[in-house]
Amino acid sequence: MRALPALIQVSFQNIIRQSFFYLAILGAYLFIVSTPAFTMFTFFDAEKLLLDMSMATILLVVLLLSVLATSSIVGGEIEEKTTTLLLSKPLSRFTFLLAKFFAVSLALILTFIPLTCALIMTLKMGVPEATWSDVKYWTLWFEFLPLIGAAIVAALANYYADKNFASSFIILLNIFIIISLVVLSFMAKGTLKINLFYPTTLIWMAGILICPVASLLALKGKVFFTLTFSFLIFALGLTSNWLFSNILHNVGIRIVYSIIPNFQVFWIENFWTKKEPVPFSYFWDVLKYVVLYCMGMIFLAWSILEKREVSGGR
């Protein structure tokens, strides 16, 4: 376990160095910023549609990056036989899986922070629903300057200091977008919807929940296999309450319902539709569910990895 922090750091760096990581964040960021162009044609319900589209985008990106990152650092290392080198050291297979889990969880923080900040700034800008709509286009500077600044500094660091562009860009974007949000909060009239970090934190937990599930799948197949079955499990988890709510009196059904990860607990639409607050007790209950479920899945993945030979790759 003494090697755990070092292995987490190395795995974390390997994740954010991947090109798919920053490209997915960049695409989602630009989509959220451009959302008013799609919602302006609604009948004075643009803010709700903007929130629904942006929250769904954040959820899908977090889940996608969680699965891809897990597949890359678990299944990818088995495929490239890096795991053989690691496990030849005094390192247990449980520590190996635990380090990968924590590395993905930390990397996902760098995903939801800039996307949430972009959503808050976009809501502050407003949507041009009608000619009398008060749209603050000047807030676009606060959204695009961190993006441009992070790209320029990362490119210079790559050229002059041979730093990885992807990892530098992701870290700089998080730093610059937080600074930009703080400056905007002092310059803009009225308050910003900082409380949107509550539901996006729950979305981050959803990404954590799918991580050990993806680890199990990555031990058995490649990226396409992991993505396909992770998506099916996600779809089943979104509809599990509807599918099993009326038949939970059956013991077998209750066991199946407990095994399937429930993703509905992370989607609290009432927060932005009915302006209902999110109580701390709800966060605590969801956190306990995530911790217990992830512990169970990690131990299951460990039991599978413990019995298999990794020296020959897959």
| Whole-number Å distance between alpha carbons of 125 and 295 | 42
pLDDT score for 130: 58
Percent of residues, the chain, with pLDDT higher than 90: 46
Residues near 45 by Cβ (< 8 Å), separated by ≥ 6?
none
Mean pLDDT by 10 residues, the chain (314 residues): 82 91 94 82 73 92 94 80 66 85 95 94 79 75 94 95 93 96 87 89 94 89 87 88 76 81 86 76 92 92 77 53
Question: Which of 282, 246, 239 minimizes the C-alpha distance to 260?
Answer: 239
How buried is residue 199: exposed, middle or buried, by Cβ count under 10 Å (0-12/13-18/19+)? buried
pLDDT in tens, 249-306: 777 778 888 888 989 889 887 777 777 778 888 889 999 999 999 999 999 988 888 7
What radius of gyration do the chain's Cα atoms show?
A: 21
Q: Taking the domains of the chain in order of start, what are their residue ranges?
A: 4-306
| Whole-number Å distance between alpha carbons of 31 and 65 | 16
Mean pLDDT, the chain, whole residue set: 86
pLDDT in tens, 42-53: 666 777 888 888
pLDDT in tens, 220-231: 878 888 899 999
**What global pTM score does this model have?**
0.90
Helix axes 93-125, 197-218, angle to 10 degrees: 150
